[in-house]
Amino acid sequence: MNPISLSEERARAFIQERSLVGRDFLSISDLSPGELEGVLAVASAFKAHRRDGRPFARLSPFNAMAMIFEKPSLRTRVTFELAMSELGGSVVMLSGTEIGLGTREPVRDIGANLSRWVSAITARVMRHQTLVEMAAAASASVINALSDREHPCQAIADLLTILEKAPQYDGGQVAFIGDGNNVAQSLMLGCAMLGIDFMLACPPGYDPEPDLLQKAQLSSVETGGTIKVMHDPVAAITGAVAVATDVWTSMGQEAEREKRLLSFADYQLNAQLLMKAHPEAIVLHCLPAHRGEEITADVLEGPQSVVLDEAENRLHAQKAVIALLLGASLVN
């Protein structure tokens, strides 16, 4: 792993660069490796200042964010709303059915109209293409709060948690056990950008999308990391300093549930499998979890689990993204 600075000095310098102002954030690969490090440093600074009760950066009070959710949420909604509020902006919450996203009104029209009122549009959608269409029409910054292709804000929270909590030693890697889904794909890309070795073990037929895998592997060549996809969970987890998993059946895949339960039966993150990792390895899960399926309760709630730290870090990660896209100013 390459040295990564989470210092407040780095965070302040990155905010002052204003290099992300006005941009969209649909994929974690929308950032350069250096920009990803900057976002992580800003997230870490926001976390430290919130803990100490000190403001770090603020937005103009005229900044507002529209939130469009086609899928239900706990962590994503609460942390985005709190992040915008604590930065000094305001939030307008909209459901996909309420505005008829792509049905009552074309996505491009919604994006163009919202841009006349708000500075950012955060959308949690069924199809990634919805975000692409919205960003093409919107002058406001569009933020991916989850799509079927990526979950970049989750990846930033995960990477922050790994940098804070995982034991660091030569030869360690991040292992993802389960579906090569949106969460796995964003984490894979983020690890590649930071030079972190990443091993994904998934059943045949559940590999990550080929273009994203290729992008991650090309990025890892430049940063000195390794990206591997395999079908053996033991091989993937052996020596890992951080182990992540996610549900086997996500929203919109309910019809595939029985098939998926059979396909993923050998990919459960349990105590026996976790013993193959580094003795102090941390366990991550983006939540909600299906205890007894992708992860056992004793692992999810055990001493190596950092899932609540990971959930907390969603707030700091998203606050950093919003602050950087909307040009927040440092406080004192």
CATH number assigned to the domain comprising residue 107: 3.40.50.1370
Amino acid identity of residue 44, one-letter, is S
Question: 305 pairs with which residues across the strands?
Answer: 283
Q: Verify that 306 and 259 share a domain, yes or no.
A: yes
Encoded tokens for 272: 């026996």
Is the pLDDT score of 280 beyond 90? Answer: yes
CA distance linking residue 321 with residue 39, whole number of Å:
7
Helix pair 33-52, 152-165: axis angle to 10 deg:
70
The mean-pLDDT minimum among 17-26, 226-235, 250-259 falls in: 250-259
Is the pLDDT score of 168 beyond 90? Answer: no
Cα radius of gyration (the chain): 19
Q: Verify that 116 and 141 share a domain, yes or no.
A: yes
Please report whether residue 2 resides in a domain: no
Mean pLDDT calculated for residue range 76-97: 94
Q: Verify that 118 and 240 share a domain, yes or no.
A: no
Q: How confident is the model at residue 187 (pLDDT cuts 50, 70, 90)?
A: very high
Q: Verify that 30 and 115 share a domain, yes or no.
A: yes
Q: Which positions ≥6 away from 21 have C-beta within 8 Å?
A: 324, 325, 326, 327
Is the pLDDT score of 49 beyond 90? Answer: yes
Is the pLDDT score of 252 beyond 70? Answer: no
Domain encompassing residue 20? 8-151+314-330
Q: Verify that 99 and 126 share a domain, yes or no.
A: yes
Q: What percent of the chain has pLDDT over 90?
A: 89
Q: Is the peptide bond before 61 cis (omega within 30 degrees of 0)?
A: no
Please report whether residue 1 resides in a domain: no
CA distance linking residue 138 with residue 115, whole number of Å:
6
Mean pLDDT calculated for residue range 35-52: 98
Please report whether residue 118 resides in a domain: yes
Please report whether residue 106 resides in a domain: yes
Please report whether residue 112 resides in a domain: yes
Helices (H) and strands (E) in the chain, counts: 14, 11
Q: Is 103 exposed, middle or buried (0-12, 13-18, 19+ CB in 10 A)?
A: exposed
Q: Verify that 167 and 287 share a domain, yes or no.
A: yes
Residue pointed to by tokens 């009104």: 105
Residues annotated as part of the active site: 124, 151, 154, 246, 286, 314
Q: In sequence order, what DSSP letters do the residues of 131-153 get, joined into one string?
A: HHHHHHH-SSEEEEEE-SS--HH
Q: Verify that 141 and 240 share a domain, yes or no.
A: no
Is the pLDDT score of 170 beyond 90? Answer: no
Q: How confident is the model at residue 2 (pLDDT cuts 50, 70, 90)?
A: low
Please report whether residue 19 resides in a domain: yes
User: Which among 186, 160, 175, 182 is positioned nearest to 283, based on CA atoms?
Assistant: 175
DSSP structural state of residue 209: P
Q: Verify that 248 and 273 share a domain, yes or no.
A: yes
Q: What is the pLDDT of residue 247?
A: 96
Q: Verify that 159 and 304 share a domain, yes or no.
A: yes
Q: What is the pLDDT of residue 98?
A: 83
Residue pointed to by tokens 């430290």: 48
- When divided into structural domains, the chain yields a total of 2
Please report whether residue 205 resides in a domain: yes
| Whole-prediction pTM | 0.96
Q: Verify that 145 and 29 share a domain, yes or no.
A: yes
Exposure string for 217-237, b = 16+ CB within 10 A, e = fewer: bebbeeeebebbbebebeebb
Q: What is the pLDDT of residue 195?
A: 95
Cα distances (Å, whole numbers) of residue 151 to 27, 65, 126, 219: 8, 19, 12, 18
Is the pLDDT score of 101 beyond 90? Answer: no
CA distance linking residue 50 with residue 45, whole number of Å:
8
Q: Verify that 293 and 191 share a domain, yes or no.
A: yes
Please report whether residue 3 resides in a domain: no
CA distance linking residue 237 with residue 27, whole number of Å:
26
Q: Is 294 exposed, middle or buried (0-12, 13-18, 19+ CB in 10 A)?
A: buried
Q: Verify that 193 and 138 share a domain, yes or no.
A: no
